[in-house]
Amino acid sequence: MIEQFDSLLAKYADFIVRVGVNVQPGQTLIIAAPIAAAPLARLCAASAFDAGARDVRVDWSDEALTRIRMEKGAEEALCDVKPYALRSYLDYAESEGGVCVLNIHADDPDALAGLDAGKVSRVSSARRRALKPWRSYTMNDRVQWCIAAMPSPAWAKKLFPDLGEADAVEKLWGLIFDTCRVTGGDPVREWQAHLARLTDLQNKMNALDLASVHFESANGTDLTVGLADGAVWESAASVSEKGVTFLPNIPTEEVFTAPHKDKVEGVVYGTKPYIHGGQTIRDFHVTFRHGRIVEYGAAENEALLGEVLDTDEGARHIGEVALVPASSPINRSGVIFCNTLFDENAACHIAFGASYPGTTRGGTALTEEQLLARGMNQSLIHEDVMIGAADTRITGHTRDGRDVAIFDGGEWVL
């Protein structure tokens, strides 16, 4: 048994609500959670009311049911997303007190394994298309949003197949508490120190005024990522339209910015499995020319990778480049979580699809056309894939023509 488990769980929930989402008095909190995450969702709801939330709504999901619908439902029906789905968010977003959202992940990485990948991908695209006006609230940081995780038996058993279910869940809890800095019993204080470190690196990156970053590794990666005009490096904390600071991801180790969608050249190899829609893409690579992916391959689920890249034109370009040292607690744990929330914080990554408008100067106030003119990518998807290795070397090229070492041997050297 994890010592003082109940107390750590309560601290984790409180940290998620007070620092992660940073629920403000009068706001409605919408929690999206699988039924396996009910214990954490309830604690978060209680904590949100204590923080002054006007109301808390929980949207429950069930992976087993999702699988049944994907398998047996007609694609036409599954893609027919009714307007109320969008209104169920906008009604709160447009209300006086406003809204904030918490997504609790407890996904079984194989929930949809073996199903028609094209159908799964098209259904999820249809939903994204229908919810696009709401998505702009989170992509633009108009409202506070946060993603955090808790173990489900299926997820834990996937990671630790040799353990019994209860032991596997406990082991995954231990890892989540460790990597989310809860184990020490004072997550708020530990996060203040962590955020200060990340902010320092972010400031140093911004001071360099880089035109591009060049990734190299013995695995064959040789990738130059040109940056969007006015690109700004960001780290853990974001600020909403109303000036509320929040943490979009728990945990977070990254310092990231926007590539220029047409200025990425070379080849890059994936270094961790890429989980998409309940299926795993392994040992992939992609080749870029003028920012566009012109060639790709994968040892497993190559066709699914193709489906993802064919979502729309923007899916063939990248919208994020993020730096994470190999010494991150998630990577040091030695565990592949098979969940992007954790795995993206174990390694440098890029994202197929949309960029975050906030990663170009003043970007959240710009129109789509103005963002495109700066080289900011647009797409229905934003899919993080891991490219950092233990030997990753990153060299920055400044706009005034200097070369600066940023990573060596997988670590920050700035």
Residues near Zn ion, by CB under 5 A? 254, 256, 320, 322, 351, 384
Query: Could you give the CA distance from residue 187 to residue 19 in angstroms, rounded to a whole number?
Result: 10
Helix (H) or strand (E) holding 306: helix 302-309
Q: Which residue, 109 or 353, is less far from Zn ion as judged by CB?
A: 353
Which residues, including other chains, have CB under 8 Å from residue 169's CB and lie 6 or more apart?
Answer: 151, 152, 153, 156
Question: In angstroms, what is the minimal distance from the CB of 340 to Zn ion?
Answer: 8
Query: Could you give the CA distance from residue 396 to residue 400 in angstroms, rounded to a whole number?
Result: 11
What does 229-284 look like in DSSP terms, one character per residue?
Answer: TTB--B-S-EE-TTS-EE-SBSS---EEEPEEEEEEEEEEE--S-EEETTEEEEEE
Measured from the Cβ of residue 369, the count of other Cβ atoms closer than 10 Å reads 7
Question: In angstroms, what is the minimal distance from the CB of 294 to Zn ion?
Answer: 22
Question: In angstroms, what is the minimal distance from the CB of 11 to Zn ion?
Answer: 26
Question: In angstroms, what is the minimal distance from the CB of 147 to Zn ion?
Answer: 11
Question: In angstroms, what is the minimal distance from the CB of 176 to Zn ion?
Answer: 19
Which residues, including other chains, have CB under 8 Å from residue 68's CB and lie 6 or more apart?
Answer: none
Q: Which residue, 170 or 383, is less far from Zn ion as judged by CB?
A: 383
Q: Which residue, 279 or 340, is less far from Zn ion as judged by CB?
A: 340
Question: In angstroms, what is the minimal distance from the CB of 382 to Zn ion?
Answer: 6
Question: In angstroms, what is the minimal distance from the CB of 27 to Zn ion?
Answer: 25
Query: Could you give the CA distance from residue 65 to residue 300 in angstroms, rounded to a whole number?
Result: 26
Whether 104 and 41 have beta carbons less than 8 Å apart is answered as yes
Question: In angstroms, what is the minimal distance from the CB of 316 to Zn ion?
Answer: 17
CA trace torsion 143, 144, 149, 154 (10° rounding) = -10
Q: Which residue, 210 or 350, is less far from Zn ion as judged by CB?
A: 350
Q: Which residue, 41 or 387, is less far from Zn ion as judged by CB?
A: 387
Query: Could you give the CA distance from residue 215 to residue 89 in angstroms, rounded to a whole number?
Result: 40
Closest chain position to Zn ion (CB):
322
Q: Which residue, 256 or 337, is less far from Zn ion as judged by CB?
A: 256
Residue 222 forms beta bridges with which residues? 216, 267
End-to-end CA separation in angstroms for the chain? 41
Q: Which residue, 27 or 125, is less far from Zn ion as judged by CB?
A: 125
The burial class, CB within 10 Å (0-12 / 13-18 / 19+), for 325 is buried
Q: Which residue, 244 or 351, is less far from Zn ion as judged by CB?
A: 351
Q: Which residue, 168 or 380, is less far from Zn ion as judged by CB?
A: 380
What does 344-372 look like in DSSP terms, one character per residue?
Answer: TTSS-EEEEEPPPGGGBTTGGGS-HHHHH
Question: In angstroms, what is the minimal distance from the CB of 238 to Zn ion?
Answer: 12
